[in-house]
């Protein structure tokens, strides 16, 4: 092969090899820095597209979990309020039973009626304040609550349970006489049944929301694991590759230096 100072094939080959090694080293270093084997479509277009679709599903499930959490809170407030109302009705029944006996004087009826009225007022206060995020499931104007439960748009419906004194037919009840107290006791028995049924319905809906929330969380974890399996780098393997490529880079530099020094041997021909 002719010897030339203008063209050095050995240096060209060494430089190409060194450039390739340097590019591979940069890729490995980037994978170690980001922890990802697939950082963009250039790395693996098909895998990147699949991972992006899965990331979209994960983001959608995060929104679903937020809605489910809001639904849980609204329903829990309604259940707590309904439980408090049931306890108040128990106290009101005791007062009505006490007032239904004959032979009490007017002062006793007045005192019993005042306590009864106070308990009813407290019931009204509970109903009006049983609100979360602007939603109240137990007022006289309450409407059903639809809770987004899947990324496809499916919902869980929590039926409104109106527990105000008018709906429970207690707004006009009084303990001013034994007859009124007896009538109030009958109305309270009916109200207790109504509230118990309402609590059962709310509890059933809350259970559905809890189950869906748990399932959504598990499904989200599975998708995250799937994305990781697709795009995450094997750091142990990348660490081994890094050390090997660093050695290859050093050898490439030395090979290029040797190739560049080759033309100097031509000087010996002119001595």
The residue ranges of every structural domain in the chain are 45-230
Which band of pLDDT confidence, cut at 50, 70 and 90, is reported for residue 18?
confident
Write the CB contacts of 16 (distance below 8 Å, at least 6 apart in sequence): none
Report whether pLDDT(198) > 70: yes
Write the CB contacts of 98 (distance below 8 Å, at least 6 apart in sequence): 112, 181
Report whether pLDDT(27) > 90: no
Helix, strand, coil percentages for the chain (3-state, nearest 5): 70, 5, 25
Query: pTM, whole model, 2 decimals?
Result: 0.78
Whether 176 and 114 have beta carbons less than 8 Å apart is answered as no
Length of the chain: 271
Give the pLDDT mean for 44-50.
92
Which band of pLDDT confidence, cut at 50, 70 and 90, is reported for residue 155?
very high
Give the pLDDT mean for 148-160.
93
Pull the structure tokens for residue 176.
């001013």
Report whether pLDDT(15) > 90: no
Whether 137 and 78 have beta carbons less than 8 Å apart is answered as yes
pLDDT tens figures, 63-86: 999 999 999 999 999 999 999 999
Which band of pLDDT confidence, cut at 50, 70 and 90, is reported for residue 4?
low
pLDDT tens figures, 216-268: 999 999 999 999 999 999 888 888 988 998 998 898 888 888 887 777 777 77
- Pick one of 3.20.20.150, 1.20.1330.10, 2.40.160.50, 3.40.50.720 as the CATH number of 45-230: 1.20.1330.10
pLDDT at 5: 66
Place of tokens 């809906």: 205
CB atoms within 10 A of CB 198: 24
Residue 61 and residue 220: Cα distance in Å, rounded? 7
78 closest CA partner among 203, 213, 212: 203
């Amino acid at each position: 092969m002719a010897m030339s100072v203008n063209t050095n094939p050995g240096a060209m080959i060494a430089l190409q090899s060194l450039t390739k090694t340097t590019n591979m080293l940069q890729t490995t270093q980037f994978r170690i820095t980001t922890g990802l084997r697939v950082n963009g479509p250039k790395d693996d277009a098909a895998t990147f597209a699949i991972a992006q679709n899965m990331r979209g599903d994960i983001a959608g499930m995060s929104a679903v979990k937020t809605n489910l959490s809001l639904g849980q809170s609204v329903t829990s407030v309604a259940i707590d309020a309904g439980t408090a109302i049931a306890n108040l009705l128990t106290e009101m029944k005791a007062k009505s039973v006490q007032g239904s006996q004959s032979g009490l004087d007017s002062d006793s009826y007045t005192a019993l009626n005042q306590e009864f009225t106070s308990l009813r007022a407290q019931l009204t206060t509970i109903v009006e304040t049983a609100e979360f995020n602007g939603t109240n499931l137990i007022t006289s104007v309450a409407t059903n609550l639809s809770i987004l439960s899947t990324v496809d748009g499916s919902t869980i419906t929590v039926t409104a349970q109106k527990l105000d004194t008018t709906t429970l037919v207690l707004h006009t009840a009084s303990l001013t006489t034994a007859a009124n107290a007896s009538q109030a006791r009958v109305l309270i028995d009916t109200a207790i049944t109504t509230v118990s049924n309402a609590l059962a319905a709310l509890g059933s809906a809350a259970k559905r929301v809890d189950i869906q929330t748990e399932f959504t969380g598990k499904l989200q974890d599975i998708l995250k694991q799937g994305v990781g399996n697709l795009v995450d780098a094997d750091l142990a393997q990348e660490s081994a590759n890094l050390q090997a490529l660093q050695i290859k880079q050093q050898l490439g530099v030395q090979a290029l230096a040797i190739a560049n020094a080759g033309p100097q041997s031509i000087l010996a021909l002119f001595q």
